[in-house]
Structure 1
Amino acid sequence: MTKCFAAFLGAVMALAAGPALAEPVTLKLSFFSNDTEVNYAKVIKPWVDAVNADPSGAVKIDAYPNGALGKSLPAQPQLVLDGVADIAFINPSLVPGRFPDDQVFELPGLLKDLGEGTKLYAELVKSNSLRGYGDYHVIGSFMNANYNLYSRRPIRSNADLKGMKVRIVGPIVGQTVKELGMVPVLMPPNEIVEAIGRGTVDAATLVPAAVIDFGVDRVTSHSYLLDLGAGPLGVVMNRARYEALPAEAKAVLDKYSGAWINDLYVKALLAHNAEIIARFKADAKRTVVMPSAADLAAIKAPYEKVTAAWAAKDPNNAKVLAKAREILTQIRAK
């Protein structure tokens, strides 16, 4: 009788201890650049730490920064689909064939700042208004600040833009700079320094954070703060991998997805970008120029031309733009 009771008690204790002893689901996260890059240091790393510290212990994320799983930023979405990584930080503007509707964010004059851009991106993803996301579970949907120009030669007004070769991040930004008299050259951010050194480009469309992160401040000394459209950034997971997770693991990822990580991004990047511009203004070796009222008036027509041409190119473009404007009206009303 004593032996039977002991066996029964052991079985009960084993069952009770089972969930606590269960191994967490381990997921691989790919980040194309180094671990000091602002998006990684201020957003991705804190997010990974929060997930890994969750009391449930259901998920463990192994982060691979420094391009350990792949250094190409345009290739990151495919790494997720191929199973090289479960999760990756992506720039949809660099793969327009995969995320064609994300070009709406590049339209000049659409977004006021990265805060409302992040909210717009999240709502468009949530409403399934953007093609290309069917194979992905979206964890974070961020928006860059509006792109400005960072140049190795002085820019005092729009007149100085004529003929400049400028690095761009997406096709619509490319069309915008072309309308302003510049020559667009598409390339990822980690190639800019070498391109400016070789003379392949004279300037780059970037946000302040990227100027520092990719060392572009070392080869440029002139900032022209003309808004040239924005671009989305995301943290995505292979949808099939997500759907196959245990319920406990899904719950942890859901807890720190969406508003949690997006709010972290907005708070961190708004402050970081503002601090960099303030630092540039205080540096006697650098110039920071805001466009004049006349320059801002002069860009209205080309900006409207770029927007109208994109909307007319495809009925779906017009549909996405109308949806974006509807959501922005709601965001601004709040």
Structure 2
Amino acid sequence: MKLTSLGLAAAMAAIAPAAFAQEVTLRLSHWVPATIAPAAAGIEPWARSVEEASDGRIEIQIFPAQQIGAAPDHYDMARDGIADITWVNPGYTAGRFPIFSLVEVPFHVTDSVQGAKAIHEWYAQYVEDEMSEVKFCVMHPHAPGALHSKEPMRVPSDIEGKNIRPAHATMARFVSQLGGAPVQVPAPEVREAISRGTADAVTFPWGAMYDFNLTNETDHHLDMPFYLSMQVMVLNPDSYAGLSDENKAVLDEHCSPEWSAEIAKGWAEDDMSARERLMEDDSQTFYQPTEEEVALWQDSAQGVLDAWKEEVADRGHDADAIYDSYIEHLERYGIRY
């Protein structure tokens, strides 16, 4: 069959988008095992959605479990281009992101899915003040974590004299203010620390009780929304700048408050499923504090909030205005504790 010049031009035009569309591979690094909820229910679906939305122009290669770098280094890895996309826990670098660390102050948030959306919208106002070296994409917490211990711990005074593995620097400060001793070990080493008696308790999300085999070590659970630990997905700015406008648009669509909530959803479901499983286990003991005891815990965290305000003010920010905005966003979504 012969093609006229006009027909040949039409045929070439039809295949040009497929033949010449930009193809790019982005490396995404995180620091948890690929099989546990944060990765399997959050990071992986996000990456596959980016690929699908780009019609295959973007491929995302995922490197889990600190294959490329240690957990505390992931912000710098994105900044320096060691990876194109990284999953960062800002709480692992104490003092570096003081505004952000407000989300770590305990007893504020009751729901992590709506919390992810609310906090994304709140922090977007300040991200250029603290994370201007990278492109901010999404943020998501686990479901509000709890205090898990070898012996009952029901009120703040029970922390005094105990060794507690805190979730992050803010929780370490809280433990210290209550007269406890923070035991700083990575999550995979918590079980050993408790079994050896180095730690008496841990602040952990519910799912981590099974992820890190802790059910035989800490069988007492203070059943209240104790704290959040928020993770952030960031991009290397040069990697983003080098994309076509079409591919940038795909990533922009996936860097939104709605996607923060979507990523948080799978992790939250896993945490709540683990909580229900623990409650059905006769070897586990749950304690739900009374209203008076909840008030004691909330009052006991005032020193942490005051310290946060002082640190933020020392950096030249209006701490009261930032805090008021945070509370406004939580109340807008009905998730303030």
Tell me which interval the TM-score lies in, with the shorter structure as reference length.
Answer: 0.7 to 0.9
CA distance in 2, matches of 1:43, 1:288: 28
**2:97 matched residue in structure 1:** 99
Letter in 1 for 2:187: P
| 3-state SS of paired residue (1:139) | strand
Partner deviation per Cα, 1:72-114 (whole Å, 9 max, x = no partner) = 2211112212222111111111123432211111222222221
Work out whether 1:261 is the aligned partner of 2:263.
no
Contact 1:32 1:73 in 2 (8 A): yes
Correspondence for 1:57 = 56
Which residue does the alignment assign to 1:301? 299
How far did 1:226 drift? Answer: 4.3
Contact 1:99/1:130 (8 A) holds in 2: no
Letter in 1 for 2:110: K
Equivalent residue, structure 2, for 1:318? 320
> What's the TM-score once normalised by structure 1's chain length?
0.88
Match of 1:271 among 269, 272, 283: 269
For the 8 Å contact 1:51–1:59, the answer to whether it is kept is yes
Query: What is the letter of the counterpart of residue 46 of structure 1?
Result: P
Matched-pair contact (CA < 8 Å) for 1:81–1:135: yes
Structure 1 residues 53 and 227: CA distance shift in structure 2, 3 A:
closer
Quick one: percent identity of the two aligned structures?
27
Q: Which residue of 2 aligns with 1:184?
A: 182
**AA in 1 matched with 2:329:** I
Question: 2:285 maps to which residue?
Answer: 287
Question: For residue 204 of structure 1, what is the aligned residue in structure 2?
Answer: 202
Do 2:54 and 2:250's aligned partners in 1 also have CA atoms closer than 8 Å? no
The equivalences for 1:119-134 within 5 A come to: 119-128=117-126, 131-134=129-132
Task: Give the structure 2 partner of residue 330 of structure 1.
Answer: 332
State how 1:149-168 maps to structure 2 within 5 Å. 149-168=147-166
Identify if the C-alpha distance between structure 1 residues 130 and 229 changes in structure 2 by more than 3 Å, giving closer, same or farther. Answer: farther
Distance in 2 (CA, whole Å) between partners of 1:58 and 1:98 is: 35
| 2:76 maps to amino acid | Q
Question: Are the counterparts in 1 of residues 118 and 257 from structure 2 also a CA contact under 8 Å?
Answer: no
State the 4+ residue runs in structure 1 displaced beyond 4 angstroms: 5-12, 156-159
SS of residue matched to 2:227: coil
Counterpart AA for 2:109? L
- State the superposition RMSD in angstroms: 2.7
Q: Find the aligned partners of 2:16 and 2:123 in 1 and give their Cα distance.
A: 38
Gap runs ≥5 in structure 1:
none
Secondary structure, aligned partner of 1:89: strand
C-alpha distance 313-84 of structure 1, shift in aligned 2 (>3 A):
closer
Distance in structure 2 (CA, Å) of the matches to 1:186 and 1:291: 27
**Range 280-289 or range 111-120, more displaced:** 111-120
1:230-259 CA distances to partner (integer Å, 9 max, x unpaired)? 221111111222122111111221233324
1:22-54 deviation digits (Å, cap 9, x = unpaired): 352110111212111101111111112222223
Q: Which residue of 2 aligns with 1:69?
A: 68
Q: Distance in 1 between matches of 2:41 and 2:47?
A: 11
In 2 relative to 1, CA 100–305 (structure 1 residues): closer, same or farther, beyond 3 Å? Answer: closer
Alignment of 1:17-36 (within 5 A): 17-22=15-20, 23-36=22-35
- Following the alignment from structure 1 to structure 2, what is the Cα–Cα distance between the partners of residues 130 and 12? 47
- Structure 2 vs 1, CA of residues 260 and 20 (structure 1 numbering), >3 Å: closer, same or farther? farther
Relative to structure 1, the CA distance from residue 109 to residue 309 in structure 2 (aligned partners, 3 Å threshold; closer, same or farther) is: same
Q: AA paired with 2:153?
A: I
User: Could you tell which deviates more after superposition, 138-147 or 200-209?
Assistant: 138-147
User: 1:265 corresponds to which letter in structure 2?
Assistant: I
Contact 1:138–1:236 (CA under 8 A) maintained in structure 2: yes
Between stretches 281-290 and 303-312, larger displacement belongs to 303-312
Higher relative contact order (CA 8 A, sep 6+): 2
- Counterpart in the other structure of 1:229: 227
For structure 2, the residue ranges without an aligned partner over 5 or more in a row are: none
CA gap of 1:274–1:100, structure 2 versus 1, over 3 A, is same
Aligned residues: 331
**SS of alignment partner, residue 85 of structure 1:** coil
